Amino acid sequence: MYSDLESNESKRREVVSSLYWSLMQGWNIPLSIQDYYGLTEDYRLFHQLEGMAPDEYLRKRQTGEVPDILEVDARLTHAVEKIFESVCPRPPAEYLDKLNGELERLGSIAASPGSVHDPIHIRPDFLVKYGIDRSSPEDVIRKQAEKAYRELDARFVRMTGRRPYADEFFRNIRPARTVSSETTLRRKPHITVRPKPKGRKMGL
């Protein structure tokens, strides 16, 4: 149905618009587009988990009956971003601004791994999206953040034609002072935040 996007401008606009608003506002993607791009099962699973009562979700997570909703959300987001950037190789400035904010956060984590414990600026769904485990040692967190930064930076090069920033950035940063183990032990555990709902509205 959507195999002729290069020659069918109306279909291309439909796909681009649906994917864009899904990524920017959490709007749902029409079923026909979900089916064509293989997103249907993850959307179904996400909505199933999202619709559970919090206590039911936590109980089933503890017993392994359901997957982590943040991991499902991250997998779905990665898939939609990849499709969107393939059908819209020069995305709107608002989309690039959103990803640039994420690139800056990754840079901050790489420079100061202890910042993963900042509950205001670093959300759990962001860490899951970029494969960063806040329970890992700081040198591991730094490597995870650097890997994610480099991958996102390469996407910016493809989308905008700008020069790569990663090599220069990582030459210039210096490891931040390591947080003492005593401070780490005193730090309160962070409450898991479920991601922004998807599918409250239909795509344009």
d(CA 168, CA 202): 42
Q: Is residue 85 part of a domain?
A: yes
What domain range is 136 assigned to? Answer: 9-186
Unique residue bearing structure tokens 């009562």: 53
**151-181 per-position pLDDT tens digit:** 999 999 999 999 999 999 999 986 544 444 4
Q: Is residue 119 part of a domain?
A: yes
DSSP 43: H
Q: Any long-range contacts for 138-143 (C-beta under 8 Å, 24+ apart)? A: 138/113, 138/114, 138/178, 138/179, 139/113, 141/109, 141/113, 141/116, 142/109, 142/110, 142/113, 142/175
pTM, entire model: 0.82
Q: Is residue 197 part of a domain?
A: no
Q: Is residue 200 part of a domain?
A: no
Region label for 131, one of left (φ > 0), alpha (ψ between -120 and 50) or beta (otherwise): left
Q: Is residue 192 part of a domain?
A: no
How confident is the model at residue 200, as a pLDDT?
Answer: 43
**38-81 per-position pLDDT tens digit:** 999 999 999 999 999 999 999 999 999 999 999 999 999 999 99
Q: Number of helices and strands (H, E) in the chain?
A: 10, 0
Q: Is residue 78 part of a domain?
A: yes
Q: Is residue 1 part of a domain?
A: no
d(CA 37, CA 175): 41
Q: Is residue 68 part of a domain?
A: yes
How many domains in the chain? 1
